[in-house]
Amino acid sequence: MKAMLLNVLSACVCACGPVLAQSPEFMMADCRNLSRLFFNDFSAQSDVKYEGQRDDGSHYVNGTIFIADRAEFFQCSYAKLGRQLVDFWAEDRSWPDFVTGGAGPHEGG
């Protein structure tokens, strides 16, 4: 019985494989693109830096986007595996509607 259970567990581990988190490079590229989408300026220079994981396991990326005559700070937070955006912070507040696919405040102009 024990041998059969070990075989089943081994097969499951091999079939499922390890669950890997996204790389910091992926999160930085995603956050850079999100900043351009949020500010509706797809040619703006957007500098980002992966800041690491918080105690709760979430990842965060800080950035600055350069639009016309100003620079704006923003931050992207990702779930523990780095695959899902859980918060976007810009203009001194969180934008939960933007995170869930809603329009940013600068859409259309």
Q: Is residue 106 part of a domain?
A: no
Q: Is residue 108 part of a domain?
A: no
Q: Residue 92's closest CA among 68, 70, 75, 69?
A: 75
Residue ranges making up the domain that contains 57: 21-99
Identity at 91, one-letter amino acid code: E
Domain for residue 86, yes or no? Answer: yes
Stated pTM of the model = 0.79
**104 domain-assigned:** no
Q: Could you tell me if residue 84 is inside a domain?
A: yes
Q: How far apart are the first and last CA of the chain?
A: 67
66: which strand partners? 45, 71
Please tell me the distance from the alpha carbon of residue 85 to that of residue 28, in angstroms, as a whole number. Answer: 12
Tens digits of pLDDT across the chain (109 residues): 444 444 444 444 445 555 677 999 999 999 999 999 999 999 999 999 999 999 999 999 999 999 989 999 999 999 999 999 999 999 999 999 999 999 889 887 5
